[in-house]
């Protein structure tokens, strides 16, 4: 059998939709090799004893797990969670009006507006954070101007605290929240808002009872793409957070590099993974329910691809 | 003052004068249609009545109250939108219940009202379905129920049947008529389909280029169009250009129809000698004769060019000099029993002087 006929048969099979498993095999293998197995290794390392030279010893222990449940870590974990939730809420509050606004503009200009919001991504992530360091600097223009205008008292600092972490994380995450919300808002049928007003709803009621549920897929995606990266955030708290702005990501980095304690770093990383998995599972279940009620499971499967 | 009144309504979109001095009245319980080609301004008028567009001039009154500047949620008016605009994340029941719930009616009462509406639209078993899982005709009826449950003083329907296929459209037309009889609400119905407007409406306003050309009952509009546009938009017609040569008496006048000769015609619009007119004669007002007809009828001689047999009727195109006259003959008796005109036959096309409509000539 020559190769042409083999390829031909392969494609004709695809056309008839037979080997569905074969089509998904490459991505499944990829995830298995480079995601699932490494994750399990990290979980496993958390139970090994540490080698003083920075490696892993042969023994097994539960000490590390006990160690990372110390109040010091739980405190940092709590801070990580509330900062990430705050960042997500602020991002949603900003991106929903922006997404709504862009989707109501003349289609000719929509992509230009979108471009404006995406343009910052063209500059390197670290450079943008350093730019914020300059902007928020105690001797910087912004703080002086705010004090001069009497907006903040003179003993308030903008840099090296948790506020700076939140501001800069919101700044970096915002485009990723705007994109899915805009995509959902663009498909939203705006005559539904008129219908709601026609049936007696105020503009505000129409917005929250019809528009927000109408773009819920976009909102769920935005939550995921903001919440998860901010929980794992490392560079931003490191550069603008100062001592009190530390998050779990920084602890992991310090354990792994400065303290050379791989098992403890692995235990913290495992803890972070578990915490991050919770919102994913909750939102995934929600999306499945949404998909069931709208009766288009396939559509959500495609659109919700990011969740899986 | 009538139940609903629209006075000198104006609307501009940029330079476009989309609604030009529109005025009409609607009586309580009436079905009133706005009929016209797309882009004629009918939907804009409807949106101004619903409160979704602000008029640039004019006033709107409903039940002795001026509503021109009220927001949509403060008007006792509900709309059935062109694409139904059902809320996709709510079940059929929740969709219908949206209005009463918003106005704060108690839940037990709302449930009762929804049941009642589902009864009226005959979809009792579909209450728990989602809008994505029901057919177009069902969506249509639910949109109507969702509007009617609020007991509006006026129901606006924006091309409600446009998205349905022919059979369903005919069925829904009867349904709409039945629902109107049952609830008695005043309807304002926007459509570009003359068949829908004719069969449903008590009165029709025919619109063109932002202007209302004529308001009347379906029969008045069909049989006695006031303008050339109305004559051509509603049904088929034949146009002839002509000049008034003499007024016979107060009712009749003689018209020189270009290329055909002089014929008497009914002159209700009081054209004077020398006026240029357009003569409009509907295809079914013509008869075809195999030999020259009697003295009572106007007639002219021609040759059959095309024939389309349509079962209940046959459509002929007869060449008379420069004209191709469109004639429709009803088969009141079995058409096989008689010799029918065929291609190339010499025939006489005849019409009665009363069946002529004289219109202002565009020239």
Helix ranges restricted to H, B88-216:
92-102, 107-120, 136-148, 166-183, 194-200
Q: A139: which 2 tokens?
A: 């001797």
Above pLDDT 70, what percent of chain B? 100
Q: Report in angstroms the alpha-carbon separations of A131 from A123, A126, A171.
A: 11, 9, 12
* B26: pLDDT strictly greater than 60: yes
Element (H, E) at B350: strand B346-351
* A3: pLDDT strictly greater than 60: no
| DSSP for residue B164 | S
* B329: pLDDT strictly greater than 60: yes
Beta-carbon count within 10 A of A144 CB:
13
Residue extent(s) of CATH 2.40.50.100 domains in chain B: 237-360
Residue B362: the pLDDT is 78
Strands laid side by side in the B31-35 sheet:
B77-80, B154-158, B186-191, B31-35, B203-208, B211-216
Q: Average pLDDT of A261-269?
A: 90
Residue extent(s) of CATH 3.40.50.300 domains in chain B: 4-232
Mean pLDDT across chain B: 92
Chain B residue with Cα closest to A210: B87
- A64-306: CATH class: mainly alpha
Mean pLDDT across chain A: 85
Per residue in A137-187, pLDDT (tens digit) is: 888 888 888 888 988 888 888 888 999 999 999 999 999 999 999 999 999
For chain A, the structural domain boundaries read 64-306
Q: Average pLDDT of A52-76?
A: 85
* B220: pLDDT strictly greater than 90: yes
Residue B6: the pLDDT is 94
Q: Does B85 touch chain A (CB under 8 A)?
A: yes
CB nearest B83 (choices: A191, A202, A293) = A191
| Structure ipTM over 0.90, yes or no | no
Q: Average pLDDT of A101-105?
A: 93
- B237-360: CATH class: mainly beta
Note the CATH architecture for domain B4-232: 3-Layer(aba) Sandwich (3.40)
Query: Which of A200, A214, A289, A300 is best to mutate for the B interface (most B CBs within 10 A)?
Result: A200
CB nearest B102 (choices: A199, A213, A293) = A199
Determine whether the interchain pair A195/B79 forms a contact, defined as Cβ–Cβ distance below 8 Å: yes
* B156: pLDDT strictly greater than 90: yes
Residue A6: the pLDDT is 64
Residue A114 burial by Cβ neighbours in a 10 Å radius (0-12, 13-18, 19+): buried
């Amino acid at each position: 059998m020559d190769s042409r006929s083999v390829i031909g048969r392969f494609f004709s099979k695809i056309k008839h939709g037979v080997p569905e498993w074969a089509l998904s095999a490459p991505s499944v293998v990829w995830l298995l090799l480079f995601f699932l197995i490494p994750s399990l290794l990290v979980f496993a390392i958390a139970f090994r004893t540490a080698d003083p030279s920075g490696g892993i010893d042969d023994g097994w222990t539960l000490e590390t797990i006990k160690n990372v449940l110390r109040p010091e870590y739980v405190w940092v974990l709590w801070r990580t969670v509330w900062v990430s939730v705050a960042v997500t809420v602020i991002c949603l509050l900003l991106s929903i009006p922006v997404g709504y606004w862009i989707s109501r503009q003349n289609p000719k200009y929509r992509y230009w507006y979108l471009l404006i919001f995406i343009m910052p991504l063209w500059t390197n992530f670290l450079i943008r954070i350093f730019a914020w360091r300059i902007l928020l600097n105690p001797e910087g223009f912004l703080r002086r101007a705010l004090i001069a205008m009497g907006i903040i008292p003179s003993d308030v600092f903008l840099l090296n605290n948790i506020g700076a972490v939140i501001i800069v994380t919101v700044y970096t995450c915002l485009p990723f929240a705007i994109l899915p919300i805009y995509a959902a808002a663009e498909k939203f049928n705006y005559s539904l808002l008129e219908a709601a007003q026609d049936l007696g709803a105020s503009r505000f009621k129409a917005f929250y009872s019809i528009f927000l549920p109408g773009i819920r897929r976009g909102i769920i995606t935005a939550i995921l793409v903001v919440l998860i990266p901010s929980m794992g955030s490392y560079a931003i708290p490191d550069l603008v957070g100062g001592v009190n702005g530390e998050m779990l990501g920084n602890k992991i980095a310090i354990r792994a590099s400065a303290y050379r304690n791989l098992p403890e770093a692995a235990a913290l990383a495992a803890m972070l993974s578990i915490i991050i998995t919770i919102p994913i599972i909750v939102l995934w279940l929600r999306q499945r329910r949404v998909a069931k009620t709208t009766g288009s499971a396939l559509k959500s499967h495609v659109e919700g691809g990011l969740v899986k | 003052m009538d139940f609903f009144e629209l006075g000198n309504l104006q609307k501009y979109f940029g330079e476009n004068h989309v609604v030009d001095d529109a005025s009409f009245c609607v009586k309580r319980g009436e079905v009133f249609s706005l009929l016209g080609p797309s882009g004629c301004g009918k939907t804009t008028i409807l949106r101004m009545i619903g409160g979704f567009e602000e008029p640039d001039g004019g006033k709107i009154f409903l039940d002795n109250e001026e509503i021109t500047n009220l927001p949509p949620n403060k008007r006792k008016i509900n709309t059935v939108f062109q694409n139904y605009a059902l809320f996709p994340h709510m079940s059929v029941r929740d969709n219908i219940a949206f209005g009463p719930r918003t106005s704060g009616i108690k839940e037990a009462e709302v449930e009762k009202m929804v049941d009642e509406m589902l009864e009226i639209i005959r979809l009792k078993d579909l209450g728990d379905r989602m809008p994505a899982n029901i057919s177009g005709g069902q969506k249509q009826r639910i949109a109507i129920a969702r509007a009617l449950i609020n007991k509006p003083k006026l129901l606006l329907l924006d091309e409600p049947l446009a998205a349905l296929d022919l059979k369903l459209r005919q069925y829904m037309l009867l349904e709409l008529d039945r629902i109107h009889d049952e609830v008695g609400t005043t309807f304002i119905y926007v459509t570009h389909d003359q068949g829908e407007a004719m069969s449903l409406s008590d009165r029709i306003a025919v619109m063109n280029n932002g202007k209302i050309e004529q308001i009347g009952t379906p029969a008045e509009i069909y049989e006695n169009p006031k303008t050339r546009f109305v004559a051509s938009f509603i049904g088929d017609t034949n146009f002839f250009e002509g000049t008034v040569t003499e007024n016979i008496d107060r009712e009749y006048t003689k018209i020189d129809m270009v290329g055909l000769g002089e014929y008497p015609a009914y002159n209700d619009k009081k054209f004077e000698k020398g006026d240029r007119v357009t003569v409009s004669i509907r295809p079914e007002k013509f008869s075809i004769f195999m030999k020259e007809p009697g003295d009572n009828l106007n007639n002219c001689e021609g040759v059959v060019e095309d024939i389309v047999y349509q079962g209940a009727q046959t459509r002929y195109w007869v060449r008379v000099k420069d004209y191709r006259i469109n004639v429709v003959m009803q088969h009141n008796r079995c058409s096989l029993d008689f010799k029918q005109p065929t291609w190339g036959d010499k025939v006489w096309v005849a019409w009665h002087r009363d069946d002529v409509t004289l219109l202002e000539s565009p020239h």
